[in-house]
Amino acid sequence: MHQATVMALTGKGGVGKTSLSAAIIRILTEEKPEAKILAIDADPAIGLSVALGIEVAETLDDIRLRVAKNVTEGLSETQDILAEAKFRLFEAMKEQHGFAFLAIGRPEAAGCYCAINTYLRQVISLLVNEFDYVVIDGEAGIEQINRRVMEKVTHLLCVSDQSRKGIQIISTIKEVADTLVAADQVGAVLNRVLLPEKITETEIGGVPLIAVIPPDPRHAENDIEGKSVFNLPEDSVILQGAREILEKMQIV
């Protein structure tokens, strides 16, 4: 049976997970032009769409609400929910630059996560084997791992800056992931490091350190101008970092 490479990025908020996710997706499209690639934005803020230059018309949660409404009104049989959802998802996916894009969206009410997380697990299970590579930009912290919406990943990437809080979160993610996530590889990345040559550690929070990425002024300028990662020059720092990660994890 075909098995997709599913890479999920997680860590503290504000450390550049979304930018790194976008850079990884760009490198994959360049290195694997014949591959089927899916980008999943699992952060309710939907920042990955901006980084990739995608306009989101419909999210997974929009579809979930519509399908649930049809079931409630008797327009669909319960056993047809996932089949209908899968059809609608493929209709909703945006495809350009050599990849498909899916945004998870927000739960329908504050604190109401159970339904969307169960749904997300089922959808990822349905979708992953339709693609060769899946990259998931996770929300900040460890919530998605705690709620087991990342249990089917093959590569878990923990992203942090040099802050103590960021590194502590990686340690916590590692502890939780050891129990709940069946990942083939887990790696850590330090991002936006001012003096990368000063980093001598081989592990961060108990996770092997696979890349140390300095700040990227060209990416910062690109971001301010609202341009996508596809507008970056090939030698930009964040793209070099993304390539190093994929090479170290033996994905490219």
Q: What is the pLDDT of residues 121-170, one digit of tens each?
A: 676 677 778 899 999 998 777 667 656 666 778 999 999 999 999 999 99
- State the pLDDT at residue 87: 75
Burial class (CB in 10 A: 0-12, 13-18, 19+), 194: exposed
134 vs 126: CA distance, rounded Å = 12
Beta bridge pairs of residue 39:
101, 135
227-241 b/e (C-beta count within 10 Å ≥ 16 → b): ebbbebeeebbbbbb
What residue ranges define each of the domains in the chain, with the CATH number in brackets?
A: 5-248 (3.40.50.300)
Percentage above 90 pLDDT, the chain? 50
Report the 3 state secondary structure along 38-59.
Answer: EEEECCCCCHHHHHHCCCCCCC
Q: Tell me the pTM.
A: 0.88
- Nearest residue to 125 via CA among 10, 3, 18: 3
